[in-house]
A and B are shown apart, each in its own frame.
Chain A
């Protein structure tokens, strides 16, 4: 059973550019969440999508957006990149068990120069 797949794994952008990250969930998983991980702030929740609808949103500026497609794949976009957006962006899908554990991808490491 394939795990959560995130692409690209590594990317370098410059300030002011925009970036799109992709996440393919485990087959059958319909909930996709995104987290930002930085050394200073740790892991912070960005947003969650379920059946193509945003179900929950963290405290991030509007430059951060996302969407989910009918096949449950999700993308997140960051516009007008800032140096502080350099981070590991993790995608997670929710398991089918009642415990609701999340299954994470290996992340997309974004460096903004």
Chain B
């Protein structure tokens, strides 16, 4: 079974600073994908970044980067130059990529508040 762990309490960061949101995972699947989603108060889950288990390099998407440490089973999200609009819930998720199904297993999420 797949499991995602996000244990940080609410996180605070000053505007324009960088912040790291932690995620550890557990799976017996050899091939898997790791995702980060942002959920603002509107409720919509917004896809941020993806890392495949066999990807050699850490994924980056604009101000988002994923610090992937496979041996430690961690996939931390780094947000650089934080903006007020980054205040939201952030979810780490995993999917088994060997099958055709789309099921994602989510962590409990982390609340990020950006201070002006």
Contacts and interface: CB of A to CB of B under 8 A. Distances in A.
B7 to A, nearest CB: 13
B81 interface: no
Interface residues of A, number: 25
A94 B33 CA distance: 14
A31 interface: yes
Interface in B8-54: 33, 35, 37, 42-47, 50, 52
Interface stretch (A16-24, A74-82, A99-107): A99-107
Contacts of A99: 33, 50, 52
B105 to A, nearest CB: 7
Interface in A70-113: 88, 90, 92, 94, 99-107, 109
Which of B44, B95, B102 is most buried by chain A, counting CB atoms within 10 A of its CB?
A: B102
B109 A42 contact: yes
A48 B97 contact: no
Contact of B101 (A35, A55, A103): A55
Contacts of B45: 90, 92, 102, 104
Contacts of B71: none
Nearest to A48: B102
B91 interface: yes
Nearest to B44: A106
A33 B50 contact: no
B50 to A, nearest CB: 4
Interface of B: 33, 35, 37, 42-47, 50, 52, 91, 95, 97, 100-109
**8 closest A-B pairs (Cβ-Cβ)?**
A104-B45, A43-B106, A107-B43, A56-B101, A106-B44, A99-B50, A94-B102, A101-B47
